[in-house]
Each structure stands twice: as C-alpha cells, then as structure tokens.
Amino acid sequence: MAEIPGWSGYQEAADILTRQYESITFEQVYRDMLHLVPPPPCRVLDIGAGSGRDAAALARQGYGVTAVEPTDALRAAGERLHAGLGITWMDDALPELGAVRAMANGFGLILLTAVWMHLDGPERAQAMGHLGSLTSPAGRVLLSLRHGPVPEGRRMFDVSADETSELGRRHGFQEIARCQREDMLERSDVHWTFLCLQRV
C-alpha cells in the first residue's frame, strides 16, 4: 500500500513500536471498558491493529478477529508474534477501508486504539460513515483519543470526545460510556479519552 499521511513514520519505527505495544495488555488498556465488550463469538474488527496485541487477546477468548494494519512491518510483526490464533490480517486503512468494506460488515465490536487522532476533519467524517455501515445493529465501537504534543514527524490532531460523540450520533451511534485515562507509557504530557459508541 502507498504511504498514508496519518501513518507516516511508523514503518521506520516498527521495531520500537512493537516492543511498546506488546509491553502492555489489552486488559490494561481497556480496563474501564471491558464490561462493554460484547461476549464471544461476535465478530471483531481491529482497525490500526499494530502488532496485534488486542486482536490476539480477543482471538484467544473465542472471537473471530479481522486485524487491519497499513504498515507492512507492523503487520508482519503481528502475523509472526500471534500466529496460529486464526486472525485474518488485512492491508487497509481509514478513512476509506475499501478492502474491508468489499469483504464484510456486521461486526459486533470495532476497535480503534490510538488511531482516530491521525485523521483530519473530513477524513473523520468519512471514516465514521464507514464505521456505521460496518457495525452490526447494537454493535459497539471502542476508541481512544490522544491528547498532548505531537511527536516530531507524525501527523496527529487533538480531537475532542464531544466532537467524536456528535459525529457518531450523525452516523447512527449513541455514546454509552466515556472515561479519561493517564498514558500507559507514562508520558506525563499525554493523556487519553476512551469512548464507547453503540449502533442504534
């Protein structure tokens, strides 16, 4: 896949990022939202799956997981580290998600962990529309919003929870949970908001 603006710099930093991602667990990242994860065997779409940490955790619990990752080196690391779990890996990315939309919909859970902040305003609007079409009735989207300075060489936007919730509402979602979190990598100038949106 051609270089995508929001993911610029990730290919070169893949080894470091993989170590960071795998140093914490899905349960630690989503500790305040675990009760909102639908029970297996619902279908899960992990967008911007990175090294596959979250996809692997859910696959081990009996979910059918599709992991989408546009960075070749991260996708290769995920396929290697989490082989044998039945995860379907795809080379695709927001906001278009063309390959995913051509293949499937009806996902009971969609994860966007540290992904949404890479999209600008028009891209977020397009992406939310696609999330609406991919999510099954009463399905849920769990996403995290990063707040803090932008690392050099990265493309990020400080997106508010209110804006994201309102955008979701316009595309058939209702916010059912929100929480603030410290940074899991202990960066004092970074914090996160986690949202759960449910398809109405």
DSSP line for 92-123: --TTT-HHHHHH---EEEEEETT-GGGS-HHH
Q: What is the CATH number of domain 5-18+45-199?
A: 3.40.50.150
Angle at 98 between CA 95 and CA 100, to 5 degrees: 100
Whether residue 41 is preceded by a cis peptide bond, meaning omega within 30 degrees of 0, is: yes
**pLDDT confidence of 11, banded at 50, 70, 90?**
low
**What pLDDT is attached to residue 177?**
98
H or E, element range at 157 = none
> Which residue would you say has higher pLDDT here, 85 or 188?
85
Higher local confidence (pLDDT), 192 or 8: 192
The answer on pLDDT for 4 being more than 50 is no
**pLDDT over 80 at 148, yes or no:** yes
- How far is CA 55 from its chain centroid? 10
According to the model, what pLDDT value does residue 61 have? 96
The pTM assigned to this predicted structure is: 0.90
Between 48 and 187, where is the model more confident?
A: 48
Cβ contact 18:83 at 8 Å: no
Which of 11-20, 59-68, 79-88, 177-186 is the least confident region? 11-20
Q: Which two tokens stand for residue 11?
A: 């290919």
| Mean pLDDT of the region 48-52 | 94
Between CA 130 and CA 125 the distance in angstroms is 9
- As a whole number, the mean pLDDT across the chain is 91
* DSSP summary character for residue 149: P
Burial 133-160 (b: 16+ CB within 10 A, else e): ebbbeebbbbbbbbbeeeeeeeebbebe
Q: Note the pLDDT of residue 185.
A: 79
Structural domain boundaries in the chain? 5-18+45-199
Amino acid at 79: E
Which residue type is seen at 20? Q
Candidate from 44-48, 103-107, 124-128, 194-198 with smallest mean pLDDT:
103-107
pLDDT single digits (tens) 25-49: 999 999 999 999 999 999 999 999 9
| Confidence bin at 187 (pLDDT 50/70/90) | confident
Which three-class secondary structure string do you get for 15-43? HHHHHHHHCCCHHHHCCCCHHHCCCCCCE
Tens digit of pLDDT for each residue in 71-117? 899 999 999 999 999 999 999 999 999 999 999 889 999 999 999 99
Is pLDDT at 136 greater than 70 in this prediction? Answer: yes
pLDDT tens track for 149-166: 887 777 899 999 999 999
CA distance 83 to 196: 29
